[in-house]
Chains A and B, each alone.
Chain A
Amino acid sequence: MAFVNLQNVTYKYPLTKTPVLQNINLQIQEGEFVSVVGPNGAGKSTLCYTLAGFVPHFFKGEISGSIEVAGMESSKSTLDEWVMNVGLAFQNPFNQISGAKYTVFEEIAFGLENTGVPRDEIKVRVDEAMRLTDITDLADRSPYSLSGGQQQRVALTSILVMQPKLLVLDEPTSQMDPIGTREVFSVIRKLAEGGMTVVMVEHKMEWIANFADRVIALKDGQILLEGKPNEVLTSDVLAENGFGLSRYTSTAREAKKQGLWKKENLPVTLDEAVKGFKK
């Protein structure tokens, strides 16, 4: 059975008129790295909240269909149980800082204290997590004194340290520079190879193509397209539906119209573009 299994999920927030998610069917295997793309208002964040249990346990509203993650069934479990299995980090790093802690080290330890991990183990795990995301040098700084990109790393580390089985990330690199983005993607790739299941909303198409196993294109609360990154991210359906394509895809698309791109498939990354144009 799939690790994540959504069947006909339709969800409406209490104050919206139309459903934000419509008939979502989604299966994800354990250890898979899935990326979600889509224009603003497509329901990406709501999908993240659903996977992390916040829909319907935190946000009320109307929900139908069945949601199963890591053997838990949404209607038969509590948010407390979900939190132990699913980690959620989202876009705005500033709001993810608890405000209860004075140093980055304490901030990362917050989740472990709350879930009753013994003191010695907390220290080991926080150290380990900070090494993983390369923020050991920030340990004694105040979380509020950091830059946006550094805060995002702290937010990500604060979730990773809880060792979730499913990691849900909503644009976790939006405020990072290209080097930071690459590092975070590599770390997540490594974790997925180690067995962690990852769902990541992201706009940076080149990175998705390089790292993700599968891409889901979401529009108006429905899954428009699903498949291997290179197929989905270069598809005409995406271009016609107002998704942002990678600059290499856009360039090659234009070039193809003028007969300058000879290959069948369009590129997503710089490497692919270079190879394609050389031929």
Chain B
Amino acid sequence: MHERLSFYVKRDSVIHSLNPLTKVYLTLSLILITFTSPWYWTPHLLVLIAIIPLGLIGKVGVEFFKAAIRLILPAAGFLFLMQAFFQPLGEDVIFKFYFLDVTQESMMFAFRNAMRVFVMVSAFTFLLLTTHPSELMSDLSRRGLPGQFAYVIISTLQILPQMQAKAQTIIAAQRSRGLDTESSFLKRMGLLTPLIGPLVFSSLAEVEERAIAIEARGFTSKRPKTSLHQIPDTKFDSTLRGVLILLVILSIALKLWLS
């Protein structure tokens, strides 16, 4: 069984039954507010009042926690360290590390930026966990996104894992014929180069056949398209989207007004 490139977790929750576009709005507004709000503690607060509750309501707490531990926290932590050490801010040195000074200001600055990144990546993770990519794309095409564009996004998500599997097959086949996999990294890279040709060219050849196949199924038909799945879009969705837009505008306005 091939793995597919999707983080979607199928659950039965309020969040899952929201319109996909509402979830995109939610994600984007979280990010925008985090980056524009003039108040120092906004990112930290958003984690507490938005990211964590949303994960729980969406019943993806466990998956979210795993992603946070493995991916988001290390990235944010690294950013924190870099900025704490290298930001030449303030005078109030907390401690010295050889020639690097860590000041209270640089700590504060780094902490906020790390939290901003944490919120941004978390918001996207949350979107990916609760939104099926094909649902999002069919909702967007219903709203006027060109079908070709949606197709490119979705098929890439599906075809990349297939290409990966094919690359594995080619490597396994070459290995069984004595391809060197034990020597130094550089030497192996040199040996792998001839394998890339077949992979790329065979994939290109497939494109034509796939184009015929989807064309035979009316892909570029001029008729108005329909969709198998009914995508929910309730009054609540549109209200929520309105509120989110207002919050973003408010945040940007405050920032402009206060600075």
Q: Provided the pairs A92-B209, A95-B213, A144-B158 are in contact, do residues A83 and B221 lie with their beta carbons within 8 angstroms?
A: yes
Contact with B along A86-107 (1 / 0, CB 8 A): 0111101011111111100110
Contact with A along B191-215 (1 / 0, CB 8 A): 0000000000000001001111111
Contact: B210 with A95, CB < 8 Å? yes
Measured as residues with beta carbon below 8 angstroms from the partner, the interface class of chain A is 35 or more
List B residues at the A interface (Cβ < 8 Å).
1-2, 4, 6, 132, 134, 147, 150-151, 154-155, 158-159, 161-162, 206, 209-230
A54 contacts the other chain (Cβ, under 8 Å)?
Answer: yes
Q: List 13 A-B contacts (CB under 8 A).
A: A49-B212, A54-B212, A90-B213, A95-B206, A100-B150, A100-B151, A100-B158, A102-B134, A105-B228, A106-B134, A114-B218, A116-B226, A118-B226
List A residues at the B interface (Cβ < 8 Å).
49, 52, 54, 58, 79-80, 83-84, 87-90, 92, 94-102, 105-106, 109-119, 122-123, 142, 144-145, 155, 158-159, 162
Chain A: interface secondary structure? helix
Q: Among B209, B211, B214, B218, which residue has its beta carbon within 8 angstroms of that of A84?
A: B218
- Chain B nearest Cβ from A261, distance in angstroms: 43
Contact: B228 with A159, CB < 8 Å? no
Q: Provided the pairs A113-B228, A117-B226, A119-B230 are in contact, do residues A99 and B159 lie with their beta carbons within 8 angstroms?
A: yes
CB-defined contacts of B210 to chain A, threshold 8 Å: 95-96, 98-99
CA distance A83 to B147 in the complex (A): 18
Give me 8 other A-B pairs in contact (C-beta within 8 A), A99-B158, A114-B147, A114-B225 excluded: A83-B216, A88-B216, A90-B212, A97-B213, A99-B210, A106-B229, A111-B218, A144-B2
Q: Provided the pairs A101-B134, A102-B134, A144-B158 are in contact, do residues A114 and B209 lie with their beta carbons within 8 angstroms?
A: no
